Amino acid sequence: MNDQELAATIREAAGSVFSLMLGLPLESGPEYRAEAGSEGYDGVIALVPMGGSWTGSGRIICGSRLACRISSAMLMAEHAAVNEEVLDAMGEMANMIIGNVKTAIEEKLGTMILGLPTVIYGRNYRARSSGVRDWLVTPFQCGDETLDVQFFLAPSPPRTETAGGRTAPLAVPVD
């Protein structure tokens, strides 16, 4: 699956969730590649790991104002500041968007499962996933706020059967 196909799937998933669940407008911009850990963040990031025939992560990133706006629309209660409810709502938003992308790409990439979302809130922090060199970023505008949906996917390492019927990663010689 190439970047344009994955970005189109991300646009469809995010647009559907924002339209059906939140009733909020969402305009997409052109996708691009960003080096992992190259920028600092202010606001909320919700990360959802994936595993199976391919492994990786999807994450949504936005500022505090948009996180509160999303939470307010989702929970039908005003949220003026980031709190536990806002963080929970952002985890659920990531689950819905990343889950919809996962379901759509399984036809081409094989069966995958989602892990539990992790949500981080703060100022001037960096988020890094081990072994990830770069992310596909699909940016969106919701009014005057920005939401980025980022993905990293790679084929899972080959598995081999061990004694007792369990699977283990295939050993790779080290130089």
φ, ψ (nearest 5 deg) of residue 13: -65, -50
The full set of domains in the chain, from first to last, is: 3-153 (3.40.1550.10)
The predicted model scores a pTM of 0.85
SS3 label, residue 13: helix
Residue 168 pLDDT greater than 60, yes or no: no
* The two three-digit tokens of residue 31, written as one number: 């996708």
Q: Give the C-alpha separation, 119 to 41, whole Å.
A: 13
Residue in 56, 36, 32, 53 with CA at minimum distance from that of residue 152: 56
Q: Give the C-alpha separation, 130 to 160, whole Å.
A: 23
**pLDDT tens digit sequence for 41-75:** 789 999 999 999 999 999 999 999 999 999 999 99
Between strands 159-161 and 167-169, the pairing is antiparallel
Q: Give the C-alpha separation, 74 to 107, whole Å.
A: 29
140 and 39 in contact (C-beta within 8 Å)? no
124-129-135-139 Cα dihedral, nearest 10 degrees: -40
Q: Give the C-alpha separation, 145 to 72, whole Å.
A: 15
Residue 80 pLDDT greater than 70, yes or no: yes
Q: Is the dihedral of CA 118, 124, 129, 130 positive or negative?
A: negative
**pLDDT tens digit sequence for 93-114:** 999 999 999 999 999 999 999 9
